[in-house]
Amino acid sequence: MRKLVTGTLMALMMALPASADTKQDQDEFYEQLDLLMRIFERVRSEYVDEVDDKEVIEAAIQGMLRSLDPHSTYLNPDVYQQVRVQMEGEYGGLGIEVQMDNGLVKVVSPIDETPAALAGIQGGDYISQIDGESVMGLTLTEAVKKMRGPVGSPIVVTILREGEEQPFDVTIVRDKILVHSVRHRVEDDTIGYIRITTFNMQTGEGVEKAIRDLNEKLGDHLDGVILDLRNNPGGLLDEAIRVSDAFLDRGEIVSTRGRKRQNNNRWYATSGDPEHGVPGDLLNGVPIVVLVNAYSASASEIVAGALQDHRRAVILGDRTFGKGTVQSEIRLGRTGDRAIRLTTARYYTPSGRSIQERGIEPDIEVLTARARAQAQRREADLNGHITNDQDRVDRAGEEDPLTAEEQAELKAEQKAESNGEEGAAPVDIQLQHAIKLLKNMSSLPKAQVAEVR
């Protein structure tokens, strides 16, 4: 093993660019690599218990990547296989999207109709223990591995939740997770509703099928479509582009910029097939409202930003998460059974706005009672996050404590959201606003609708 590690370090040394600024820079580089090797040898020979060389090296790799930003990570063979299955839309586990934050596992969002969602896990929850063992000191990869297991086996997670004074345990039974990333239905007789829970390999096709079904069911009576991206943590860039393309005739969808030329790209909407009556915009101009919140991230923000910049949709809800960086998956090993996810570029909307830290600001802000009562944690709150490379926006005081008058207003909203009845199903205030908006837009002449958008 020592020979392997030494060989790896020597390869790194030889790979040092010849164009280094000074010989001193090269000397410092070699010195740091030598320091790493000496520390590794001390750990192997003097640590109180015998250590596994492989685990120590993986921990060093993971630590290096974690020091860069919250989204760069190492995927060992077990985790890499799980990630690939997840992106393909099927995997075993609890059904939650997570990330590490201050040493704890933060739930970005539960996936609809999975064991985690049915058990009441919420976006913004923190998992402090798994089966009674603390997650502090674990990597995200290690924590995820602990949460996965055989279908039908139980797991107990300890939850920290804003508004709850004490941690509490939730028992969840693991299941095979089939990610139906797109669902649709008709609201209020004439409004199409499309919900995207994640962006996997089936998402673009699912949205296109949903649009065709809504067009067939409602035809000329389709007054508008609601695209619900709330609590959607993102996923594949290609699928975000395909979803955006389904609603656009032309123009840029998203661009990426990084240090290397191959990471600088632009993607554009396609014009469809006019000769056969197939528009690029599958809705042919029908008004759209996109619902977003603080847990709409990454690919969700690409779609919302593209439709907003082209004035194709009204964005309604809360400011989005603000994850505006690209993670490239770089396969490693002779068999390609492991990989690193390395942040290699930033996303930009068609107008050139960087999503990073800022997120997408809604055209119409409609906050839920919970969002108004609690500060929502976003990308900018994560330790080590990459900063926005454009002029910063001063958000000081935007989450100040509520005044007495605002607290009274909040209680009234909370009562309205629960229909004022004990145990009643909550009213989706944002959805109701979207339906009302589309109903109003449908009564306007097309020129005025375009102006509203």
Return the residue matching tokens 């191959």: 262
Q: How far apart are CA 45 and CA 39, in angstroms?
A: 10
Q: How far apart are CA 418 and CA 435, in angstroms?
A: 19
Residue 50: CB partners within 8 Å, gap ≥ 6? none
Q: How far apart are CA 327 and CA 154, in angstroms?
A: 32
Q: How far apart are CA 191 and CA 224, in angstroms?
A: 5
Q: How far apart are CA 123 and CA 110, in angstroms?
A: 6
Radius of gyration of the chain (CA): 24
**Region of residue 364 (phi > 0: left; psi between -120 and 50: alpha; otherwise: beta):** beta
Q: Which of 69, 281, 323, 354 is catalytic?
A: 323
**Structural contact between residues 10 and 37, judged by C-beta atoms closer than 8 angstroms:** no
Q: How many CB atoms lie within 10 A of CB 159?
A: 19
- 323 counts as catalytic: yes
Q: Which of 72, 109, 181, 298 is catalytic?
A: 298
Token pair in block for residue 321:
């998460």
Q: Which of 109, 309, 318, 354 is catalytic?
A: 309
Q: Provide the 8-state DSSP code for 235.
A: B
- 418 counts as catalytic: no
What residues form DSSP beta bridges with 348?
Answer: 255, 354
Q: Where are the alpha helices (DSSP H) in 96-187?
A: 115-118, 140-147
**Region of residue 287 (phi > 0: left; psi between -120 and 50: alpha; otherwise: beta):** beta
Token pair in block for residue 377:
């944690």
- 309 counts as catalytic: yes
- Which residue numbers are catalytic? 298, 309, 323
